Amino acid sequence: MVATKKTILFLHRWLGLITGLVVLIVSITGCIFCFQDEIQDAVHSYRKVEIQNKPYILPSALKQVALKQYPGTVNYIYYYGKNRPASVLVNTKQGLQEVFINPYTGAITHAENPLHNFFTVVEFIHLYLLLPARAGTIVVGTSVSLFVAIMITGIILWWPKRKSDRKRSFKVKWKGKWKRVNYDLHNVLGFYVVSIALILAITGLAMAFDCVNKGLYQAANLGKSYPKEIEVIRSDTTTKLSVYPAIDKALIVSQKLSPKAEMLLIANLDGKTETIQVTAYAQSLHYGNSDYFYFDRYSGKLLGALPNAEKSPGKKLNDLNYDIHVGQALGLFGKIIAFLASLICASLPVTGFIIWNSKRK
């Protein structure tokens, strides 16, 4: 038993030293990103528009407004909500431009390269450490995977053997010497945050690695397959005439089929995929609880649909992954919990290093 504990301690210590800096950076950037929507709404007035009692301007018109100012190709158009601007993402020769347009008047309210947005930079640090995407994903994903092992070994090492020790083991001894306080901060806060940290780590790994995402899908579905969710729908290339532009018909039909949806994404407009896809989200700036619609890119005919109510548990879980990761699946309370958990995770490599360095000396 002593030899086993020594092995666990060795793994906990050295895995922590190896991954500590990456975990610190990923956790701090996670804290910053947690409330990015709320911060940007408070700082940038262009993220809100006055609600008007009339329908949205059709996407073909929004596309032309954006392309007139920024020539290029368009792949995505977002309708963020009744009190928010629409957004057209244009790929220009100078780089990406996200053009924000009032969906009622057609006036451009703001344009920027989304890659230069402060929170996009924070997100890229969080995901890739600003390394090339493939290399950064491996470094961050591997470090987070090892962090999961560190948390598990930490609980094994810390868990009090005697019942009489458990009561005091769950509290920080604030009146003790600073080394004792640091020791308690590492162990006690680590214990309290471990369940939330595991959820954040697993949902983060699901974004980084397709195998984790598929694993969660299979686990939630208990291994059952749902062919409809992986079916590839194709457009009819022989039909290229339509009264309305296909993207306009796609929006109109989607609004009728999902009348309560607050946010709409029209994707695959550059012709590189089989169909135009519209995703109707139940809540603005939330990416779960969505309905999928697939349209012929030439005629605008509805070819297939996957309402949220008909999705498998695994598909629903995959769609909720981002909302769970940032805490917004539980609203503001969930974001606060995710923020505090990320902050504590950032402190663990620091307090752990102090413990190791003190014992080394």
Classified as helix, coil or strand, 111 is strand
The CATH number assigned to the domain with range 231-316 reads 3.10.450
Q: Please give the model's pTM, rounded to 2 decimal places.
A: 0.91
Q: For residue 303, give the amino acid letter.
A: L
pLDDT attached to residue 242: 52
How do residues 126-135 score in pLDDT, each as one tens digit?
999 999 999 9
Distance CA 276, CA 278 (A): 7
Six-digit token string for 158: 């810390």
Which residues face 100 on adjacent strands? 87, 110
The CA distance from 348 to 214, in Å, is: 30
Q: Which two tokens stand for residue 105?
A: 């008047």
Residue 84: pLDDT band by 50, 70, 90 thresholds?
A: very high
161-202 residue pLDDT tens: 766 666 666 788 888 888 889 988 898 899 899 999 999 999
Distances 38 to 33, 51, 252, 288 between C-alpha atoms, Å: 10, 19, 30, 18
Task: Say if 58-120 and 231-316 have the same CATH topology.
Answer: yes
- DSSP state, residue 86: E
Say if CB 103 and CB 86 are below 8 A apart: yes
Residues whose CB is less than 8 angstroms from the CB of residue 213 and which lie 6 or more positions away in sequence, other chains included: 206, 207, 318, 321
Torsion angles phi and psi, residue 195, rounded to 5: -65, -45
pLDDT of residue 128: 95
Domain spanning 58-120, CATH architecture: Roll (3.10)
- Report the pLDDT value the prediction gives residue 240, as an integer from 0 to 100: 57
| Average pLDDT in the chain | 91
Find the distance separating the first CA and the last CA of the chain, reported in whole Å.
27
Q: Where do the structural domains in the chain lie, given as residue ranges?
A: 2-37+128-221+327-360, 58-120, 231-316
Q: What is each CA distance from 335 to 42, 119, 156, 186, 261, in whole angstroms?
A: 17, 16, 29, 23, 22
**What local confidence, expressed as pLDDT, does residue 225 receive?**
86
Specify whether the CB–CB gap between 303 and 296 falls below 8 A: yes
Of 117, 122, 32, 41, residue with least CA distance to 81: 41
